[in-house]
Amino acid sequence: MTTTSAPRTSARVRVQRFGTFLSGMIMPNIAAFIAWGFITAFFIPTGWTPNETLAALVGPMIVYLLPLLIANTAGRMVYGTRGGVVASIATMGVIVGTTIPMFLGAMIVGPLAAWIMKRVDALWAGKIRAGFEMLVDNFSAGIVGFGLAIGAFFGIAPVVTVLSDALGAGAKFLTETGLLPLASLVIEPGKVLFLNNAINQGVLTPLGIQQSADTGKSILFLLEANPGPGLGLLLAFTFFGVGIARATAPGAIIIHFLGGIHEIYFPYVLMKPVLIVAMIAGGMTGITTNLIFESGLRAPASPGSIFAILLQTASDSYVGVILSVILSAAVTFLVAALILRASRKRDLEALESGADGFSNAVSQNSTLKGSESRVGDLLGTATAMKISTVVFACDAGMGSSAMGATVLRKKLKEAGVTGVTVTNKAIANLDETADLVITHQDLTARAQSQAPHAEHVSVENFMNSPQYDMVVQHIKSQQS
């Protein structure tokens, strides 16, 4: 008889899940961090419009409001509203028990308190006499919250204070010695593997907020959020990529740089893993630039859009932050361009044989994330604006391809689709102006090698192909 054991969860998946949990505590409360950042920027003595009365909001928000929001969110994640209430009560103990903002304390005590409350409730679940449920629920939560607050004050606050001081000292050491750019060796690969949340939400954001409370800004907010490296990578694919990757890169730039969804560029790295070298080089360049100019953000920038970055930039840091984005993008672009140019011939040969690894990379991206990824849909949106020129191609560029173009024009007109140019050419004359190329199935491989950036559709008969209706619906859905 044979036995099978349950598959072990890999260390990567465990770190990923832990990071997702940490992110779940922080991300819903980002609006509060942004609000605190604006209050700090406007009303502190060195702010844009100093106001001593309104500046009194800064301290209580960072000491009490933000940690309690984190704790409440964590408690709700573990045990609903009841967990959130007990988590908030317990976190007050760790807040009052120290003199520094207790973000790490809230992230530890919050979920722990909710879990304990859940276990306590399980002891008498279904055993309470009818009519006494509210009495037991309220007093049990109050008693547990009371005990946990006292325990957090005496037991957890001192430990978290030591841990926070140690992490802060480590970040300060890396900053003062100029070694902080080495963080890119961990952050950039971690982003692509969806491991960055554990670092960003678990360490960088809490330490950055504490640093910002002391100095008015923190470079730690820029280590992971800088959109420059991703911009440089996508620009390199726009100019030197092949196939679907090249076609989708321009739209992906908008989603990444303006929308702040960095996940959009992960498949491009997964498609050619050596490109992580370009990402690390760009990340190091950005951090080094911010170190030189002593620049930073007031609060976390989430999502990592250039707009969010600029809105959270400290008043004395605009030059450094903007340069860090530009220079990191430039370095990543140069390194990625060299890599893509060096492998271009091999990539074109693979494309000609019908192998375009980008779709596999998108699927791999979803697998690595461990949950449903939006990248596939977003990249579909990225190409939605691309098809404005359709080219029918054959050997001579006349005859059958011209007739096929006529058929498609009629179908587009009947469907009410406008703004699309349909022409016919010889395969040898295909160039980068074609967004979609339609060829006989025997000629598609040649057309792909001649116009690798375009989308390609194969037909059996130029005069009557069901593919034409699919093309019309595809273009129509993109335009809508």
How is residue 151 written in tokens?
């325990």
- Please give the Cα distance from 192 to 182 (Å, whole number): 17
The answer to whether the beta carbons of residues 148 and 111 sit under 8 Å apart is no
The set of residues, in sequence order, having a beta carbon less than 8 Å from that of 338 and lying 6+ positions away, is none
Distance CA 154, CA 90 (A): 12
From the number of C-beta atoms within 10 Å of its C-beta (0-12, 13-18, 19+), residue 110 rates as buried
What distances in angstroms separate CA 207 from CA 101, 204, 221, one per listed residue? 9, 5, 9
Closest to 113 in 3D by CA, of 147, 97, 90: 90
Which residues, other chains included, contact 53 with Cβ-Cβ below 8 Å and sequence gap of 6+?
none
- The two three-digit tokens of residue 275, written as one number: 């490109």
- Burial (Cβ within 10 Å: 0-12, 13-18, ≥19) of residue 146: middle
| Cα distances (angstroms) measured from residue 141 to each of 71, 116, 144, 202 | 16, 10, 5, 28
Active-site residue set: 394
CA-CA distances (angstroms) from residue 360 to 193, 300, 353, 454? 15, 33, 16, 18
Angle subtended by helix axes 157-176 and 205-215, to nearest 10 = 80
Report whether 106 contacts 71 (CB < 8 A).
yes
Beta bridge partner(s), residue 393: 425, 439
Q: End-to-end alpha-carbon separation of the chain, Å?
A: 59
